[in-house]
């Protein structure tokens, strides 16, 4: 074999090996990506819309009861801003560590953080002062969450009824305050925890 033909053979061998490696690489499947499905396989989302008429213009109502930590007054529980500024995106209030995630001129929406000690239920609440006429409005409070982690339909209905009672009382208190009244004494402590917990 001449040096010329040996060189050609080596070149051909190198090309063959490169093609073989490419073919082998093309046939090797890429590692599968980890499953990325939702943590809750079959959520059951529920919304609870509540409202109350108020004999005041919406802007006045919102000025009186719409600050993020005003919940302390109308829910008659302690509230402080623990992070950020009252009314700004990302503000956190001490009530269930709720985070302000949305707002308009006359509304805000909040959520609760993921916790290590309980399933995440995607809880959100929206409070809005909605104009009805130039001199009247209504307060609308809507809760939204997944109740699939509750044991059965009876437990889900008990939970819904508890929330309706709590937030109806909150709306009644907001109406009293917005119309210039004074709240009755807070009910005794020790009942179910407030504000979506």
DSSP class of residue 149 equals T
CB 121 within 8 A of CB 146: yes
pLDDT of residue 190 exceeding 90, the answer is no
Percent of residues, the chain, with pLDDT higher than 90: 68
How much is the average pLDDT of 4-13?
48
Sort 87 into a burial class: Cβ within 10 Å, 0-12 / 13-18 / 19+.
middle
Model confidence over 102-129: pLDDT tens digits?
999 999 999 999 989 888 899 999 999 9
- Measured CA to CA, the distance from residue 166 to residue 162 in angstroms comes to 6
Model confidence over 32-57: pLDDT tens digits?
445 677 777 889 999 999 999 999 99
Percent of residues, the chain, with pLDDT higher than 70: 77
- Measured CA to CA, the distance from residue 26 to residue 21 in angstroms comes to 9
End-to-end CA distance of the chain: 86
Q: Which CATH architecture has domain 49-178?
A: 2-Layer Sandwich (3.30)
How much is the average pLDDT of 78-88?
95
């Amino acid at each position: 074999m001449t040096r010329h033909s040996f060189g050609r053979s080596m070149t051909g061998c190198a090309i063959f090996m490169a093609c073989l490696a490419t073919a082998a690489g093309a046939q090797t499947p890429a590692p599968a990506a980890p499953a990325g499905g939702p943590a809750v396989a079959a959520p059951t989302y529920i919304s609870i819309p509540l409202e109350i008429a108020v004999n005041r213009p919406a802007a006045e109502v919102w000025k009186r009861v719409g600050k993020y930590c005003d919940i302390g007054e109308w829910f008659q529980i302690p509230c402080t801003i623990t992070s950020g500024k009252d009314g700004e995106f990302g503000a956190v209030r001490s009530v269930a560590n709720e985070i302000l995630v949305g707002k308009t001129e006359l509304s805000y929406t909040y959520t609760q953080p993921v916790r290590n000690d309980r399933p995440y239920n995607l809880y959100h609440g929206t409070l809005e002062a909605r104009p009805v006429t130039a001199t009247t409005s209504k307060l609308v409070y809507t809760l939204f969450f997944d109740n699939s982690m509750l044991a059965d339909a009876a437990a889900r209905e008990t939970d819904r009824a508890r929330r309706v009672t709590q937030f109806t009382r909150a709306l009644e208190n907001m109406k009293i305050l917005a119309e210039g009244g004074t709240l009755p004494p807070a009910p005794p402590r020790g009942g179910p925890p407030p504000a979506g917990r």
